[in-house]
Structure 1
């Protein structure tokens, strides 16, 4: 009696779409694509010999993958775990050596995979695998700074309290200055953005001087009061405070600012005493990130200054003022979300943490 062709393979619910997606994919492993094709052809009712001829494998291979799918579904098409050759290199030793400074004879500050591989007599790819396994990245370095302010707790609670629960019938403003803004002009005109090509500019430039931007950010609306001045002494800062006071007449003002010396100058203190409706709240030392105007300074830097070209300081100041005018037409509130307890908990954890061994 002649051999009858095997019956069509019955696919599980939803597998037709998944298998078809795998077969069409250009990112899947070639082996998985091949097995998926075999299963799809078997589901169409093709004979095993025809499937083997079409995909270029032996008939027994077709039988094996039909059986695997029938038993385990899509999971049966995945590669099974293989024991392989036992690892002969201890990754912990590689990482342990990585965490120690390189010998002085190398004259380097940190290990590279090639240098450590040569030092240990192994391949640099083996070093890279060990680093990836343990999450070690010797080429990276970050900065940190602990606040040593003796009034840390009080200042954090004060500033965060203003953000999360501002006083009624009062305005909360974040005040600071962005100093040393350079009026840079390129040595050749910019090449504008075009289809298929980004904006281009020369790497060299002409410096025409610097300016300082004083800004007061109203957190409830995002509105900014700004002024450009040639320097950032207490004289300029006091003049800016008077400008802010005029911009908000007959309203109590709560100003959040950092501990820059000009902010605490006797002239500034005397003016504040004469104007009790203006109250200052200082961020902890080394915690200027708590001043929300720093976020706005990042916005104007990215959107108006970094890629700008300025023929003079006057031109720079005019474009800064134009940005502030446009910003105030589209501004939005600045919302603070982190509580004082969260900030203090993280600060405490950072100062008490020990270096892992």
Structure 2
């Protein structure tokens, strides 16, 4: 049997095969300027850089070192076509070419008019349009939009995205109050001047002091039914929910604004007599007993309200001057800051066996506070007060003009 001989490819066939082989692609050279290199390194190694931007910057940096596309793909674990694409884009357009190109995307499902109507609906009170709600949520708004045929269907997430663009949050609310005191500016300015050591345009002397005073009412003694557990590793302090009531007391305190010293006392309840007990405790203590003047800043509570309280204080202690804050302006009284500290550090979480323990802890905290306290950094001045009132006047005027334009002519 004859064995067929194997003959090499003829010359014409070798030429055809060589013509069919595609030429190898040559990687585009990348040359970086100093600013481009710095920017690319920031993108590649920044902790807050998006992942895609970090990948693209890494590709360009490795390409600038002269590495091939295949080697970059192996090192970055990306496809070689991806490496080739971003290398080519940077070579053609520089840093701006590393950003995503604009895409047409899917046509919008809602018109700008529908978006505006939803935002306008969110800016209305639900009760004004007959909806039995106190405030809107995104889900309730989406339901209302469908009920009113503004759109055939709408999701709560879409409503949330639209409202976020204009910072509209109809589910939130803030309480506020009108200024009712006709002497608001004068009274507030007097208090602020005292904080700045000035009274009636004259600076205070070294023997003149400013006391901020008030009462913290109804501090209860709640005896927990089970002992409070101390915190531990990965465990917060645990306080039993059930408790027995051990009564309540009032904590009266006087805070020296410029010396950061507190004198306080506990009383069964508030009233004129307990407040005058506090005044007596302070005014019979040095340096207040021999001071030229001691200014008492108080709010309009029943224990120290009106002209009678001013006369009562002056009669008992001629060197004491009572200064009232405006009505509904207890925020101008610095003693409220101290009471907030007491609430956070002493009262909460409320776990006392009896009222005697409450009294002892409050007295001990006074000593602890007075040992290291510094005056509060009060930054609200009379200039800030003028700016605040000017803004309120502008808002009030704008509201009145809006109401007059909305009301029908008579």
TM-score norm. by structure 2 comes to 0.78
Q: Map 1:216-235 onto structure 2 (within 5 A).
A: 216-235=254-273
1:249 paired with 2:289, answer: yes
Rg (Cα) greater in structure: 2
Instruction: Determine the C-alpha separation between the residues in 1 that align with 2:168 and 2:134.
Output: 15
**SS state of the match for residue 14, structure 1?**
helix
CA RMSD of aligned residues (A): 2.6
Larger RCO (alpha carbons 8 Å, 6+ apart): 1
- Find the counterpart in structure 2 of residue 189 from structure 1: 227
**SS state of the match for residue 63, structure 1?**
helix
Counting matched residue pairs gives 353
> Structure 1 stretches of 5 or more lacking a match?
none
Task: Select the residue among 180, 194, 197 that pairs with 1:165.
Answer: 197
**SS state of the match for residue 131, structure 1?**
helix
Task: Select the residue among 98, 117, 123 that pairs with 2:155.
Answer: 123
1:98 paired with 2:122, answer: yes
- C-alpha deviations, 1:87-138, integer Å up to 9, x for none? 4333221110112233677522222212221222312121111110111111
1:151 paired with 2:183, answer: yes
1:33 paired with 2:54, answer: yes
**SS state of the match for residue 129, structure 1?**
helix
1:133 paired with 2:158, answer: no
> 1:233 and 1:72, CA in 2 relative to 1: closer, same or farther beyond 3 A?
farther
Please list every run of at least 4 consecutive aligned residues from structure 1 whose deviation after the TM superposition is greater than 6 angstroms.
none
Instruction: Determine the C-alpha separation between the residues in 1 that align with 2:126 and 2:305.
Output: 47
Structure 2 contact 228–240 (Cα < 8 Å) conserved: yes
Structure 2 contact 297–333 (Cα < 8 Å) conserved: yes
Structure 2 contact 212–257 (Cα < 8 Å) conserved: yes
> 1:340 and 1:85, CA in 2 relative to 1: closer, same or farther beyond 3 A?
same
- Find the counterpart in structure 2 of residue 10 from structure 1: 32
Instruction: Determine the C-alpha separation between the residues in 2 that align with 1:193 and 1:273.
Output: 52
> 1:229 and 1:34, CA in 2 relative to 1: closer, same or farther beyond 3 A?
same
- Find the counterpart in structure 1 of residue 79 from structure 2: 57
- Find the counterpart in structure 2 of residue 297 from structure 1: 339
Structure 1 contact 9–43 (Cα < 8 Å) conserved: yes
Instruction: Determine the C-alpha separation between the residues in 1 that align with 2:91 and 2:233.
Output: 52
Instruction: Determine the C-alpha separation between the residues in 2 that align with 1:175 and 1:220.
Output: 14
**SS state of the match for residue 264, structure 2?**
strand
TM-score norm. by structure 1 comes to 0.89
- Find the counterpart in structure 2 of residue 43 from structure 1: 64
Structure 1 contact 221–334 (Cα < 8 Å) conserved: no
1:77 paired with 2:114, answer: no
**SS state of the match for residue 33, structure 1?**
helix
Shift of 1:48: 1.5
- Find the counterpart in structure 2 of residue 111 from structure 1: 136
Instruction: Determine the C-alpha separation between the residues in 2 that align with 1:238 and 1:341.
Output: 34
**SS state of the match for residue 211, structure 2?**
strand
Shift of 1:45: 2.5
Structure 2 contact 313–321 (Cα < 8 Å) conserved: no
Structure 2 contact 213–252 (Cα < 8 Å) conserved: yes
Q: Map 1:283-294 onto structure 2 (within 5 A).
A: 283-294=325-336
**SS state of the match for residue 326, structure 2?**
coil
Structure 2 contact 325–333 (Cα < 8 Å) conserved: yes
Shift of 1:85: 4.0
Instruction: Determine the C-alpha separation between the residues in 1 that align with 2:284 and 2:94.
Output: 74
